[in-house]
């Protein structure tokens, strides 16, 4: 579909209904007469038909619909009979306009013309939970590993893992096993029409983290757990660029704004006893890397390279690719805290010394006129500060490019500052005792 072919946009996207049973959610949508369905099956959660869990599931249904809405970028959205209050509507509007901002930018679509109607007010369903029981969405990277280990002695914790039903992600499973914690699972079956990618469909990024947070909140409510501990750092709130008067942030659903909208909508649906917050919100990527550097049991199993998490098995990388922006960034932020030899063992490659990664490194540290990559990487300050520190380490002195780029970058913060708290946090006090 050509980017400028605005006539190819769909007209109507409809929320047809959500089927909720004890351990499954089946979401139904319609795009100009084309039906879509998504199935999520839970293992280890309680009864999803419990009123509070079902109410939160309606919020997931709203946000998950954007995976199908984007196929046609319809001009009119009908929420149908979906139960949604003012906070839920604010979450949906934020996910539509800000969560799909990257999608709109890449396809040059103005989503401000979208008309949203429908939806029914839903009564608040107060959930009875144990606030010392926390469910931690786990992705197998350094962020969620650090959250898990930091919370271990403070609350009773279970992991929440989302994966395809027949092809679990091996590095994620291996990393979860190291934690030794119980696991609550959700197996997600995306409509095969979306997976196959019809030639007429629009394509682009959707706010997946918000979807996972809401699935976790529904599972927590169904299980009597009182918290969902996300693992999103301070820099997740930093936009990639400004376009048509709107911030475009690849990590919008990991941002403080996204977190607040999710938390307020959950409180509206199920009361304020279920906490949804990011444990790392006031921390930098460098602080996370320093803590992770000491968690040696995870070093040879964790994976942050997105190529390991492709939905289709045949497309999954079996190790770190060593080429993408995420591999380069993780290598960079760990380099001040781990030896060069230790990093090489982890990555089976050395992105920082690879001359083919020079342009990517320049962009990461904020040099030139390109925006921060559309990836889950830190802000340019964090990358530039990490690079400056690595360039001072003797064992990296043979990689002259590192020192050259470090001398050109001008971060506003320094290394020690980035190891202290950064900005606001919504972490409840009882997670910190």
- Asked if the model's pLDDT at residue 268 lies above 50, the reply is yes
Question: Above 90 in pLDDT, residue 416?
Answer: yes
What integer pLDDT is reported at residue 167 of this predicted model? 75
Q: Is 9 exposed, middle or buried (0-12, 13-18, 19+ CB in 10 A)?
A: middle
Question: Which of 154-158, 167-171, 274-278, 310-314 shows the lowest mean pLDDT across its residues?
Answer: 310-314
What is residue 309's predicted lDDT score, i.e. its pLDDT? 60
Start-to-end Cα distance in the chain = 53
Task: For residues 388 and 306, give the distance between their C-alpha atoms in angstroms, rounded to a whole number.
Answer: 26
Residue 133 pLDDT more than 50?
yes
pLDDT over 90 at 3, yes or no: no
State yes or no: pLDDT of 199 exceeds 70.
yes
Q: To which H or E segment does residue 293 belong?
A: helix 285-293
At 122 the pLDDT is: 80
Q: Residue 323 — φ and ψ, nearest 5°?
A: -120, -30
| pLDDT for 130 | 93
- pLDDT for 380: 95
Please name every residue paired with 117 in a beta bridge, in sequence order, or none if there are none: 78
- Give the pLDDT band (50/70/90) at residue 310: low
Alpha-carbon distance values, 386 to 174, 248, 420 (Å): 28, 25, 15
Q: 383 pLDDT exceeds 50?
A: yes
Has residue 6 got a pLDDT over 60? Answer: no
Instruction: Report domain extents, the chain.
Output: 8-127+183-278, 285-418
Confidence grade of residue 289 (pLDDT, cut at 50, 70, 90) = very high
CA 282/CA 181 separation, integer angstroms: 25
Residue 425 to residue 149: CA distance in whole angstroms: 19
Confidence of residue 313 (pLDDT cuts 50, 70, 90): low
Say how many C-beta atoms besides its own lie within 10 A of residue 200's C-beta: 11
**Is the CB of residue 279 less than 8 Å from the CB of residue 150?**
yes
Average pLDDT over residues 280-309: 92
* pLDDT the model gives residue 306: 75
Q: pLDDT class for 314, splitting at 50, 70, 90?
A: low
Q: What is the pLDDT of residue 125?
A: 85
Provide the pLDDT for residue 315: 63
Report which secondary-structure segment, H or E, holds 198.
Answer: none
Reported as a pLDDT band with limits 50, 70 and 90, residue 7 is very low
> Once rounded to an integer, what is the mean pLDDT over residues 418-423?
96
Question: What digits encode the pLDDT tens for the residues 321-354?
Answer: 888 999 999 999 999 999 999 999 999 889 999 9
Among 230, 259, 223, 17, residue whose Cα is nearest residue 120? 17
Mention every residue, 6+ apart, whose C-beta is less than 8 A from residue 7.
none
Write the pLDDT tens digit of every residue in 46-84.
999 999 999 999 999 999 999 999 999 999 999 999 999
Is residue 259 within 8 Å of 91, Cβ to Cβ? no
Give every CB contact of residue 191 below 8 A, 6+ residues apart in sequence.
36, 37, 38, 68
3-state secondary structure 382-396: HHHHHHHHHHCCHHH
Please give the pLDDT value at position 141: 93
| Segment 386-408 mean pLDDT | 97
Mean pLDDT across the chain: 93
Q: Is residue 2 pLDDT above 50, yes or no?
A: no
214 burial via Cβ count (<10 Å: 0-12, 13-18, 19+): buried
Contacts of 341 (CB under 8 A, 6+ apart): none
Instruction: Select from 206, 218, 165, 188 the least CA-distant residue to 68.
Output: 206
Torsion of CA 175, 218, 42, 129, to 10 degrees: 80
């Amino acid at each position: 579909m050509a980017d400028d072919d605005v006539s190819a946009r769909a007209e109507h996207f409809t929320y047809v209904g959500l089927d909720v049973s004890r351990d499954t959610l089946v979401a139904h949508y319609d795009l100009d007469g084309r039906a879509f369905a998504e199935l999520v099956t839970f293992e280890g959660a309680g009864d999803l038909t419990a009123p509070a869990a079902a109410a939160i599931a309606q919020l997931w249904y709203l946000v998950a619909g954007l995976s199908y809405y984007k196929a046609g970028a319809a001009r009119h959205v009908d929420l149908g009979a979906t139960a949604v209050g003012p906070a839920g509507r604010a979450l949906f509007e934020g996910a539509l306009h800000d969560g799909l901002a990257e999608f709109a930018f890449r396809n040059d679509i103005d989503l401000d013309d979208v008309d949203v109607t429908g939806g029914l007010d839903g009564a608040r369903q107060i959930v009875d939970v144990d606030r010392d029981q926390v469910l931690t969405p786990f992705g197998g990277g350094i962020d969620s590993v650090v959250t898990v280990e930091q919370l271990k002695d403070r609350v009773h914790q279970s992991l929440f893992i989302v994966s395809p039903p027949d092809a679990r992600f091996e590095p994620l499973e291996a990393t979860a096993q190291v934690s030794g914690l119980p696991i609550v699972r959700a197996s997600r079956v995306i409509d095969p029409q979306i997976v196959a990618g019809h030639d007429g469909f629009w394509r682009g990024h959707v706010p997946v983290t918000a979807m996972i947070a809401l699935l976790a909140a529904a599972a927590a409510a169904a299980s009597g757990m009182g918290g969902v501990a996300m693992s999103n750092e301070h820099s997740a709130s930093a936009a990639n660029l400004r376009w048509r008067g709107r911030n475009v942030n690849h990590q919008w659903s990991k941002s403080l704004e996204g977190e607040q909208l999710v938390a307020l909508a959950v409180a509206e649906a199920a009361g304020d006893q279920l906490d949804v917050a990011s444990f790392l919100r006031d921390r930098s990527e460098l602080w996370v890397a320093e803590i992770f550097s000491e968690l040696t049991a995870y070093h040879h199993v964790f994976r942050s390279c997105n190529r390991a998490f492709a939905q289709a098995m045949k497309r999954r990388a079996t190790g770190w690719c060593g080429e993408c922006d995420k591999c380069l960034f993780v290598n960079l932020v760990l380099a001040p805290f781990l030896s060069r030899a230790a990093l090489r063992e982890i990555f089976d490659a050395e992105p920082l010394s690879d001359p083919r990664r020079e342009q990517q490194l320049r962009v990461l540290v904020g040099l030139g006129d390109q925006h921060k990559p559309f990836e889950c990487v830190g802000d340019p300050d964090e990358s530039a500060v990490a690079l400056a520190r690595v360039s001072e380490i003797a064992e990296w002195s043979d990689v002259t490019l590192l020192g050259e780029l470090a001398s050109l970058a001008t971060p506003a913060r320094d290394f020690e500052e980035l190891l202290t708290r950064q900005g606001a946090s919504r972490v409840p006090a009882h997670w910190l005792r």
